[in-house]
Structure 1
Amino acid sequence: MVQLTVTPERALADSPVWIRALDLTPSQPVTLHSSLIDEKGVKFEARAFYWANEAGEVDVKEASAVGGDYRGVCPMGLFWSLKPEKMFHRLIKRDVIGSPFHIQISLFGSFVLMPSAKDTPLATCSIERWFVAPGVERFQIKEGQVRGALFLPPGPGPFPGVIDMFGGGGGLIEFRAGLLASKGFAVLALAYFAYQDLPQTLVEVRLEYFEEAAKLLLKHPKVRGPGLGVIGVSKGSEIALAMASFLEQIVAAICINGTTTMNGAPLRFRDIYIPAVRYYPEKYLINSMGALCGHHIVGDPLDEAHQDSVIPLEKAHGPVLFVVGEDDNAFSSKLFAELAIARAKKYGKNNCTLLSYPKAGHLIEPPGSPVCMCSWIPRTPKPTQWGGEMEPHAKAQEHSWKEIQKFLELHLGSAGSSNM
C-alpha cells in the first residue's frame, strides 16, 4: 500500500519538513501537491513532478523534481513555491497565536497539473505550521503612545529584547516576532502608522515614539538589558537604522532591503532634523502584468539630493547587519548598504556587515515562506513588483534567517529556543 510520510506533521513555520512517498511502482510518475487556505479564504497551491526510483520511493531530500513549480532537489520546494489563486495576494499569518496554517500534502499517481474532483490522490497528509512555539505568550501593547504586540518566550527569563518592524504598508505584522520569540527572544512587534489610533499615513518619523517603545521594552522584568536589538524590512529597515544611529538603547540592528537615507518622510528627534528625499512617482515602471516597479522612485543614491538625507550610521552604538536582495525591485538596496558601510568606515566604524544575495528580491522573510514577487500594499493603486527569482530567493531566506539569529545572539546574548 502506498505511503506518504511528512515529518514533522506539527512544527514551527520556519522548520524544514521531510516528505517521502513509499511503496510506489519503480519509475512511476507521481505528483506531490501542497495546498493551504489562508485567513482570507484564498487558496495557495504548489506541485512538483517526480519519477519514483528503482525502490519505488520519492524522497524530496534526494529526488529531483522534473517539472511543476520548481525543478531539481528542493526539499522545501512545496512550501516556498506556493502560489495564490488570487493574483498579487501575499500570504501573511495574522492570528499567530490562535491557529496554525494547515497545509495538505497530496500524492497523485501520475503527472497532474491542476487537481480536480476526478483526480483521486494515492495518499494525503495534513500538517500544521505554527508561528509560535508552545508557551510563547502574546500581550497587546497600548501604553502611552506605543502600539504593538509583545511576544515572550516561556520561562522566567530574562530574555534578550528585540523590536521588530515591517514596511510601508503600515499596520501590525507579527509572524516574524512570533518566530523570534520561539527562539528565545522577547520581541515587540511595533506598529508605527495605519494602526488603531496611530496616524494613517507616515508624514514624519518622530524618533521619540521609537525611543518610548525601546524604554517600554527594556523596563519589562523578563527583558534582559542594557541594550536591545532592532530588525526591520523596507521602510522599517530605514527606521531601524535611524534608531541604531540615535537611540542609546539600540545596540544591534538588522536592516533588510531598505534605504539608508530618509525617503518620503523626514526624521525629527529633539533638536535633530533630517529632511527626506522626495519620491518621484513619475519614475514608476509598469510591467506586463500591470504591477509597479518602484526601483527608481527614490532617485539615485549617489545623487546630491540624497546627501542631506543620509542617516548617520557612524553614530550607531553597536553593529549593523544589512541583508539585501540584489534583484530588489523596490530600492537599490545593495548600493544603499554599500554607501552606508563606506561612510561608516570613513568615520572609523568597522562593525557593519553586508549579506548580499544574487537573484533575491525585496521581501526576504523566514524560510518556508512562499516567495512573493508581486503583491498589493495599502494605499497603492496597482500591485507592487518586489523582484527576485524563486529558488535563489528561497535560499536567501533560509541562509539569512540563520545569520539573523546568530547576529542577535552574538550581540544581545544567548537565547534559549522553545520546541514544538
Structure 2
Amino acid sequence: MATITATPKSSLADEPLKISVTGLEPSQLVTIQASLTDERGVLFQARAFYWTDKNGQVDLMRDAAQGGDYSGVQPMGLLLFLKPDKPFSRLMKRDVINTPYEVRLDVFDSFQMVSLPHEQSLASQTVERWYAAPGVQRILVRHGKVRGALFLPAGQGPFPGVIDIFGGVGGLTEFRASLLASRGFATLALAYFGYEDLPCCLGPMDLGYFEEAANFLLNHPKVRGPRLGIVGICKGAEIALAMATYLPQIGATVCINGTHAVHGYVLYYRDFCIQPIPYKHERMLITHQGVVDLSNIFEDPRAKLHQDSVLPVEKAQGKILLIVGESDRNYNSKAFATEIMERMKKFGKTHCALLSYPNAGHLIEPPASPFCNESWLPFVSRPVLWGGDAEAHVAAQVHSWREIQKFLHLHLGPTQSSSL
C-alpha cells in the first residue's frame, strides 16, 4: 500500500520538509503533487515526476525529479516551485498568526500533467506551514504617526530589534517580520503608504517618519538597544539605505534589490531634502501579455546631473549587507550595488558586503515564498515582471535567508530563537 510521509507535519514555513513515498512497485513512474489554497481562494500547485527505486520508494532528499515543474534533486521543490492557477497571483500570507497554510501532498500513478481529483491519488498527506512560532505575539501599532505590526518572540527578552520594510506593493506586509520574530528578533513590520491614514499612494518620503518608528522600537521594554537592524526590499531597500546613512539608531542594514540613490520622489529630513532622479515612465516595456518591465525606467545615477540624488552611504555608522538578484527585471540592482561598493572603496570604508546571485530575480524573499516571475502591482495597476530563473532564484532565497539571519545576529547580538 502506497504511503507518502512528510516530516515534520507542522513546521515554520521557512523550515525544510523531508518527503518520501513507500509501498510502490519497483521502477514505477509516479507524479508527486503539492497543492494549497491561499486566503484569497487562489489554488497553487506544483508537480514532479519520479521513478521509484528497486524497493518501490522515492526519497526527495536523494532522488532526482525527471521533469514537471522542476528537475533534479530538489528536496523542497514541491513547495518552492508552486504556481498559481490564476495568472499574476503572488503567494503572500496575510494572517500570519492564527492560521497556517495547509499543503496537501498527493502521489499519482504514472505521468500526470494536469490536476486530478484527490480521490485518484495513491496516497496523500497534509502538512501545516506556519508563519509564526508558538508564543510569537503580534501587536498592532498606532503610535504617533507610526503604523505597522510589532512581532515579539516568545520569552522575556530583551531581543534585538529589526524594522522590516517592503516596496511598491504598499499596505502592511507581515510574513517576513513574523518569521524573523520566530527566529528571535523583535520585528516591526512597517507600513508607509496605502494603509489606514497613511498616504494612499507612494510619494514624497519623510525620513522623520522612519526615525519615529526606530525610536518607538528602541523604547520598547522587550527590545535590546542601542541599535536596530533594517531589512528592506525594492523601494524599502532605498529607504533602509537612507536610514542607515542618516540615522544613528541603525546598526545593521539589509538591502535587497534596491538602489543607492533617491528615485521618483523627494526624500526630506529635518532641514534638508534630496531631489529624486525622475522615473522615466515612457521607457516602460509592456509584453504581449500586458506585463510591465520596469527595469529601464531608472536613469544612471552616475550622470553628473544626478549626483546630488545619490545617498552618501559612506556616512553610515552601522554595517550594510547588499543582496542582489543579477536577473532582476524590476531594478538594475547589480549596477546599483556595484556603485555602492565602489563608493565605499573610494572613501576607504569596509562596512559593506555584497551577496550577488546569478540568474536570481527581484523578489528574493524567505524560502517560504515560491518563485514568482510576475505578479500584479497596485502601484502601476498592471502585472509586473520580476525576473529570474526559477531554480537559481529559489536557491538564492534559501541561502540569503540564512545569511540575513547570520548578519543580524552578528551585528545586533544573539537571539533567543523559537521553533515549532
TM-score range, shorter chain: over 0.9
* Partner of residue 83, structure 1: 83
- Separation in 1, partners of 2:18, 2:149: 33
> Are the aligned partners of 1:36 and 1:43 in contact in 2 as well (CA < 8 Å)?
yes
Matches of 2:304 and 2:393, distance apart in 1: 32
The residue number in structure 1 matching 2:298 is: 298
**In structure 2, C-alpha distance between the alignment counterparts of 1:305 and 1:260, rounded to whole Å:** 15
Matching residue of 1:417: 417
Deviations along 1:261-300, one digit per CA (max 9) or x if unpaired, are 0011111111221110111111111224221110010122
- State the match for 1:382 in structure 2: 382
Alpha-carbon distance, 1:381 to partner: 3.2
Partner of 1:316: 316
Alignment of 1:366 onto 2:393: no
Note if 1:94 corresponds to 2:88: no
**In structure 2, the residue corresponding to 1:355 is in which secondary structure?**
strand
CA distance in structure 1 between the partners assigned to 2:227 and 2:300 by the alignment:
34
Give a deviation string over 1:188-239, Cα, whole Å, max 9, x none: 0000111000011222110000000000000001000000000000000000
1:316-340 per-residue CA deviation (whole Å, 9 max, x = no partner) reads: 0111000000000011101101101
* Shift, 1:301, TM fit: 3.5
Distance between the aligned counterparts of 1:201 and 1:382, measured in 2? 15
Q: 1:118 to 1:245 in 2, by over 3 A?
A: closer
Structure 1: distance between partners of 2:32 and 2:385 = 29
Question: Any idea what SS the aligned residue of 1:360 has?
Answer: coil
Of stretches 305-314 and 257-266 in structure 1, the one that deviates more from structure 2 is 305-314
Secondary structure of 1:209's match?
helix
Partner residue, 1:396: 396
Q: Whole-Å Cα distance in 2 between the matches of residues 398 and 337 of structure 1?
A: 21
Task: Give 1:45 deviation, angstroms.
Answer: 0.5
Q: Write the distance in 1 (CA, Å) between the matches of 2:16 and 2:417.
A: 16
Cα separation, 2, equivalents of 1:206 and 1:286: 32
Deviation of the 1:314 alpha carbon: 0.7
Question: How many Å apart are 1:119 and its aligned residue?
Answer: 6.3
Amino acid at match of 2:7: T
1:342 paired with 2:347, answer no
Aligned to 2:329: 329
Task: Call closer, same or farther: CA 1:85–1:305 in 2, change over 3 Å.
Answer: farther
What are the superposed Cα offsets for residues 12-46 of structure 1, whole Å, 9 maximum, x if unpaired? 00000010001210000101000000000000010
Contact map agreement 2:201 2:379 (CA 8 A) in 1: no
Q: For 1:383, what is the secondary structure of its paired residue? A: strand
Q: What letter matches 2:397 in structure 1?
A: Q
Q: Contact 2:301 / 2:309 at 8 angstroms: preserved in 1? A: no
Match of 1:209 in 2: 209
2:84 is the alignment partner of 1:72:
no
Q: What CA distance in whole angstroms lies between the structure 1 residues aligned with 2:117 and 2:359?
A: 37
TM-score (norm: length of structure 1): 0.98
CA–CA distance in 2 between the matches of 1:250 and 1:6?
41
C-alpha distance in 1, partners of 2:205/2:63?
50
Secondary structure, in 3 states, of the residue corresponding to 1:376?
Answer: strand
Shift of 1:306: 3.0
State the match for 2:4 in structure 1.
4
Q: Which amino acid aligns with 1:298?
A: F
1:247 is aligned to 247
Distance 1:412 1:118 in 2: 48
- Report what 1:57 is aligned to: 57
2:225 counterpart letter in structure 1 = G
2:354 is matched with which residue? 354
| Contact 1:262-1:275 within 8 A present in 2 as well | yes
Provide the C-alpha distance between the structure 2 equivalents of 1:47 and 1:302, rounded to a whole number of angstroms: 46
The equivalent of 2:110 in structure 1 is: 110
Deviations 1:134-158 (A, max 9, x none): 0000000001000000000011100
Please report how far the alpha carbon of residue 80 of structure 1 lies from its aligned counterpart in structure 2 after TM superposition: 1.0
Match of 1:25 in 2: 25
**Which amino acid is 2:365 matched to?**
E
Change (3 A) 1:3 1:349: same
Maintained 8 Å contact 1:46/1:82:
yes
RMSD of aligned alpha carbons? 1.0
Summarize the Cα distance change of 1:118–1:22 in structure 2 as closer, same or farther, 3 Å threshold. Answer: closer
**What stretches of structure 1 of length at least 5 have no aligned partner?**
none
Q: Distance in 1 between matches of 2:119 and 2:323?
A: 43
CA contact (8 A) 1:16 1:368 kept: no
Q: Which runs of 5+ in 2 are unaligned?
A: none
C-alpha distance after superposition, 1:387-416 (max 9, x if no partner): 001100000000000000000000000012
Which residue in 2 is equivalent to 1:225?
Answer: 225
1:199 is aligned to 2:193: no
CA contact (8 A) 1:277 1:305 kept: no
Partner Cα separation in structure 1 for residue 382 and residue 305 of structure 2 = 27
The whole-number CA distance in structure 1 between the counterparts of 2:117 and 2:336 is 51
Q: CA deviation at 1:118?
A: 8.4
* Superimposed CA distance per residue, residues 75-134 of structure 1 (whole angstroms, 9 cap, x where no aligned partner): 111011100000000010011011011110001121111123386001110011100000
Change (3 A) 1:70 1:219: same
Partner in structure 2 of residue 277 of structure 1: 277
Q: Secondary structure of the equivalent of 1:321? A: strand
Q: Which whole-Å CA distance do the structure 1 matches of 2:253 and 2:323 have between them?
A: 11
**Conserved 8 A contact 2:92-2:369:** no
* Structure 2 equivalent of residue 152 of structure 1: 152
Q: Which amino acid aligns with 1:248?
A: P
**Partner Cα separation in structure 1 for residue 310 and residue 191 of structure 2:** 24
